[in-house]
Amino acid sequence: MLLLVGLGNPGPKYERNRHNIGYMAVDAIVRRHTFQPERARFQAVCSEGVIAGRKTLAMRPTTFMNDSGRAVGDAVRFFKLEPEQVVVLHDELDLAFGKIRVKQGGGHAGHNGLRSIDQHIGPDFWRIRIGIGHPGEKERVHGHVLGDFAKADYPMVERMIDAIVDAAPLIAKSEFNAFMSRVALLIQPPKPKKPPQTEVNEEPDGI
């Protein structure tokens, strides 16, 4: 079984925040893959489904971000899961906007949702890090993270989420390197090569 967790804060006030892109991504996966109707469970909005033949529980904790681990811990204990069966999608300050990376384990880098999950199930879960970029100054981080995406950001936000949804079967298969390659290709497809120019040999003037 796979536990797929999107991080964010509950309520309409936060739904367009950069901090909520994990919510947005998991919500899109549920809509576009084979999942049952959502219901409240484990202090979260949950939906059971199947991705690439693997039973999956998609979860968006309904606690605030800094208590996300309560919902994850409840589900892990109920289904007797190992941390390696948990994949958390979250915003990442230290990645440029438009970049997506995957890693297992490691620190939380000040991310309160990751810190909370670490406290409940340990650090060895998988993280899909969705880049939101850094505002450049430490004093601006709080407002940046809890601020809404700008209107000009939305085409890229949609590309990132569409890429994650398209590549979700690779998450279910634990093919994380292939997942990263696939989303990178979908977000920034290679530019078409220009056809080679044909040289034209001009006839010299003469009699």
Residues recognised as catalytic: 19
Tokens coding 193? 């090569």
Q: Which residues pair with 56 in a beta bridge?
A: 2, 49
Q: Give every CB contact of residue 169 below 8 A, 6+ residues apart in sequence.
A: 51, 52
Q: Are strands 86-92 and 2-6 parallel, antiparallel or unpaired?
A: parallel
| Cα–Cα dist 18/144, whole Å | 7
> What does 55-114 look like in DSSP terms, one character per residue?
EEEEEEESS-GGGHHHHHHHHHHHHT--GGGEEEEEEETTS-TT-EEEEES---TT-HHH
Q: Phi, psi at residue 9, to the nearest 5°? A: -110, 140
